[in-house]
Structure formats: structure tokens, C-alpha cells
Amino acid sequence: MRILKLMTVMLLAAAGSVSAQAKKGTLATAKISVPTVQCEECSQKIERFVGHEEGVQSVKVDWKHKTATVKYFTDRTNIENVKTAIANTGYDADNVTADKEAYDKLPLCCKKPEDGGGMPDKKH
């Protein structure tokens, strides 16, 4: 009986160890082109929205260079999901086009210059 209890405890401990390792996953870093980002407000929107996505550890958008650097766990999400999250915020992400409804809701300063947005002569 003691052996059975001991084996059960050891089995549960081993299972807990395996599940803790599975939760960690591999941390990947990707640089994504975000050509329609116009200002700091755009950067903040993407960082806030994408930062809440499952598996995303961090997001940093450089609006001047129009890039987003994303760190994410590969066992929880993938790069296509991250790009889709950016597109769902209203911005293009590499080959994924912005969601039209989300883009239409952006403030004028965050829209493309051809749509009357952006303010190239002013800092945002």
C-alpha cells in the first residue's frame, strides 16, 4: 500500500514538472513591417491591443521606422496570429491588410495620408 502511495506521489510530481515545462514553450522574436503606422498614438494602440493576445510577451512599435518587434511563445501563438491581431487593430502588418472596420474607426491622424490622415509636418 505504501509503495502504491509513493508511486502515485511520484507520478503526480512528474506530471506537474512536465506541464510546467510545456507552459514555457519557446520564446520567438519577430520584426513585422507596419507601413500604415503614422504616429505615437498608432504605436500605443498596437502595443495595447496586441499585448493582450494569448502567447504574446511583449510588443514594441517604432512608428518612425514603421516596424513592430514582437516577442511571443511559439506553443501559444504564431506569427500569422500576431499579424492578424495588428490588422484587427486597423493597421497593415507585412502581407496582412488592415481590417476595414477597425481602420475606419481610427482617428484621422492615424489614417493613411491618401485618406487625409497623418500629419507629416507635425509631431504626434
Q: How far apart are CA 69 and CA 31, in angstroms?
A: 4
User: Quick check: is 124 in a domain?
Assistant: no
Task: Enumerate residue ranges in the chain where pLDDT < 70.
Answer: 1-24, 119-124
Dihedral angle over CA of 49, 47, 23, 20, nearest 10: -120
pLDDT reported for residue 116:
84
* Pairing outcome for strands 27-33 and 56-62: unpaired
CATH of residue 49: 3.30.70.100
pLDDT reported for residue 120:
55
**pLDDT tens for each residue of 7-17:** 454 545 555 54
pTM for this model (two decimals): 0.75
Main-chain dihedrals φ then ψ at residue 56, nearest 5 degrees: -85, 125
pLDDT reported for residue 45:
96
**pLDDT tens for each residue of 101-111:** 999 999 999 99
User: Quick check: is 40 in a domain?
Assistant: yes
pLDDT reported for residue 96:
96
> Domain total for the chain?
1
pLDDT reported for residue 2:
55
